[in-house]
Structure 1
Amino acid sequence: MRISAAQRTENENRIRAAMDRLLRGEIPPGGKCDIKTLAREADVDRTAFYGTRPYAHLRAEFERRLQALQQAGDIPDPRQAQITRLKAENAKLRERLAASEQAIDELTDFRTQALARLAAQHEEIVHLRQTATAASRVTRLPSSRSSATVIGSCS
């Protein structure tokens, strides 16, 4: 079915008005800032935006304007902005998690080494005590209590 020049102009005006609304961030419920929503808002068949169809130049203009806004840091679709923000936050949290896991691994290794050193030192002390008691040449000194009473009784 052919449309008249007046109908085509009217459709283009509706498409441009819907395009401006979407790019300002006025996204309808359940919609996105995309061609499907643009076609629905302008009440035009979506296939008219593709290939050699009559409104393909308007699709290209919409995508160009949308890309320019995104490059400028302005994302008209609040859901898309939220997705972008959440992806960045997710990446930061993954980095923090990796750093935490590395710190835990390092601390676990340190704890293992410290326990091994303490066990080795304990074994050395036990060995030295056994060696000291086994040697007959070693004379045990009296404890500090008995030497204090001996010194006190001499005076």
Structure 2
Amino acid sequence: MRISAAQRAENENRIRAAMDRLLRGEIPPGGKCDVKTLASEAAVDRTAFYGNRPYALLRLEFERRAQALQDAGEIPDRREAQIVRLKAANNRLKDRLEQSEQRNDELSEFRAQALARLAAQHEEIVRLREAAAGTNRVARLPAARTASTVIGPCS
């Protein structure tokens, strides 16, 4: 079915108005900032936006403007913006988790080395005590005095 020039101009005006609304972020519930939503908002058949159809140039303009907004860091579709934000947060959390796991591995390795050193030191102390107990030439020191016996009673 052919449309008149007036109908085509009216459709183009509706498409441009819908395009402006979508790119401002006024996206209807259940919609996206895409050609399908543009067509439904403008009450135009979606197939008219593809190939050599009448509104293919408007689709290209819409996609170009949407890409320019995304390149500028603005995402008109709140849902898409939320997805981008959540992906970035997810990546930050993955990085933090990886750093935490690496730190835990380092601390576990340090703990194992410390325990091994303590065990070796303990074995050396036990060996030296046994060697000292077997000889009579080692003199034992008197027990350490507490601070109250050294200073004396308070007056």
Q: Which amino acid aligns with 1:59?
A: R
Partner Cα separation in structure 2 for residue 53 and residue 8 of structure 1:
12
When structure 1 is superposed on structure 2, of 108-117 and 136-145 the one drifting more is 136-145
Q: Report what 1:153 is aligned to.
A: none
In the TM superposition, residue 3 of structure 1 has moved relative to its aligned partner by 1.6
Cα deviations by residue, 1:51-87 (Å, 9 ceiling, x for unpaired): 1111100000000111111111111111111111111
TM-score, normalization: structure 1? 0.87
1:7-34 deviation line (CA, Å, top 9, x unaligned): 1111111111100110111000000100
Which runs of no fewer than 5 residues in structure 2 stay unpaired? 145-155
Contact 2:15 2:42 in 1 (8 A): yes
The answer to whether 1:70 aligns with 2:74 is: no
Normalised to the residue count of structure 2, the TM-score between the two structures is 0.87
CA contact (8 A) 2:22 2:33 kept: yes
Structure 1 unaligned spans of 5+: 146-155
Q: Distance in 1 between matches of 2:43 and 2:122?
A: 85
Supply the AA of the counterpart residue of 1:34. D
Q: How does 1:18-97 map to 2 (within 5 A)?
A: 18-97=18-97
Distance 1:87 1:139 in 2: 71
Q: Distance in 2 between matches of 1:73 and 1:39?
A: 25
State the aligned residue count: 144
Cα distance in 2 for partners of 1:94, 1:144 equals 57
Partners in 1 of 2:100 and 2:127 — Cα distance? 40
The SS at the match of 2:66 is: helix
Preserved CA contact (<8 Å) 2:132 2:138 = no
Detail structure 1 runs of 4+ shifted over 6 Å in the superposition: none
Q: What is the RMSD of the two structures over their aligned residues, measured on CA atoms?
A: 1.5
User: Once the 2 structures are TM-superposed, how far is the Cα of residue 142 of structure 1 from its aligned partner?
Assistant: 6.0
